[in-house]
Amino acid sequence: MNWQAVKAIYIFEMARFFRTLMQSFISPVISTSLYFVVFGAAIGSRIEQVEGVSYGAFIVPGLIMLSVITQAISNASFGIYFPKFIGTIYELLSAPISFLEIVMGYVGAAATKAMFIGLVILGTAALFVDLSIQHPIAMLLFLVLTCLSFSLFGFIIGIWAGNFEQLQLVPLLVVTPLVFLGGSFYSISMLPEAWQAVALFNPVVYLISGFRWAFFGMADVPIGLSLLAIGLFTGLCMGAIWWIFKTGWKIRN
C-alpha cells in the first residue's frame, strides 16, 4: 500500500476544503438555523412531541443526515470529476498507484469533510434544543458509515458525469427527495399504513431510523436492518468502483 500517494491526494483535497472554510462552515450553520426556525418553531408549535421526544430534538438526526449525505456526494463527485474535466486524471492513472489508493484518498477526504459538517450541525442544534445522545458510539459509527458510503456513491457519480449539469442531477432529483421522504422531519409511523409500506422501499429510511435510534433509543425499523442496509449499500458502491477501474469505464476514453 502506497500510503504516501493516499496522503498526497487526501491533503490536496482537504486543502481545497480549507480554502473555502468560511463557506463550508457558515453555510451549514445558517441552513440549520433556518430549518429550526421553520420546522422547529412553526411546525413544532403544532407538534410538541413525537413518541415522547420534543419535535425540535426529533428533527436533529434527520437534519444531520440530510446535510451529511448531500455534502459527501457533492465533495466526492466534484473531487474526481474535476481531474477528468481538466485532464489530470490521466496522470493519476499512469502513476504507480493502485485504484484502491486513489479511492482512499478522494473518498477519505470527502468523508472527512462530510463528517466535519455533521459535527458542526450537531453543535449548532445543541444551541436550539436540549439534546442527549443515548448511544454516542453507535451515533459516531452510523455517521462514519454514512459519510463513507455516500462518498463512495458520489465518487461513482463523478466518474459517470459528463458535464457539470449531470454532476448535480442525481443529488438534486434523486437523493435529496429520498432524504426528505425518508423520515427526516417525521416518523413514518405517523403515515397511513399503506404509505408506511411504501416508505420501507426508501433506503434512506433505514439510515435515518438507525441514526435516530442512537440519539433517542427509538427507531422506525429494527437497528439490525439499518446496519444491514448501510453495509449492503457500501458493498455495492465498492463493487461498482472496482468494476469501473477494472474496465476503464468513463475514465480511459
Residue for cell digits 456526494? 73
Q: Is residue 130 part of a domain?
A: yes
Q: Are 55 and 44 in contact (CB under 8 A)?
A: yes
Q: Is residue 253 part of a domain?
A: no
State the DSSP string of 113-175. HHHHHHHHHHHHHHTTS----S-HHHHHHHHHHHHHHHHHHHHHHHHH-SSHHHHHHHIIIII
Q: Is residue 139 part of a domain?
A: yes
The CA radius of gyration of the chain, in Å to the nearest whole number, is 19
Angle between helical axes of 203-216 and 60-86 (0-180°, round to 10): 130
Q: Is residue 36 part of a domain?
A: no
Per-residue pLDDT of the chain (253 residues; tens, 9 = 90+): 788 989 999 999 998 888 877 766 777 778 777 877 777 666 666 676 777 788 888 888 988 998 899 889 989 999 999 998 888 888 888 888 888 999 999 999 999 999 998 998 898 888 888 888 999 999 999 999 999 999 999 999 999 998 888 888 888 888 888 888 888 888 888 888 888 888 888 888 998 999 999 999 988 889 999 999 899 999 999 999 999 999 988 887 6
Q: Which domain holds residue 121?
A: 56-177+230-247
Element (H, E) at 223: helix 223-247
Q: Are 144 and 115 in contact (CB under 8 A)?
A: yes
Q: Is residue 27 part of a domain?
A: no
Number of domains in the chain: 1
Q: Is residue 207 part of a domain?
A: no
Phi/psi of residue 49, each to 5°?
-140, 150
DSSP-based three-state secondary structure for 53 = strand
Q: Is residue 14 part of a domain?
A: no
Q: Are 180 and 162 in contact (CB under 8 A)?
A: no
Task: Give this prediction's pTM.
Answer: 0.91
Q: Is residue 210 part of a domain?
A: no
DSSP-based three-state secondary structure for 77 = helix
Residue 212 contacts by C-beta under 8 Å, 6 or more apart in sequence? 58, 61, 62, 183, 218, 219, 220
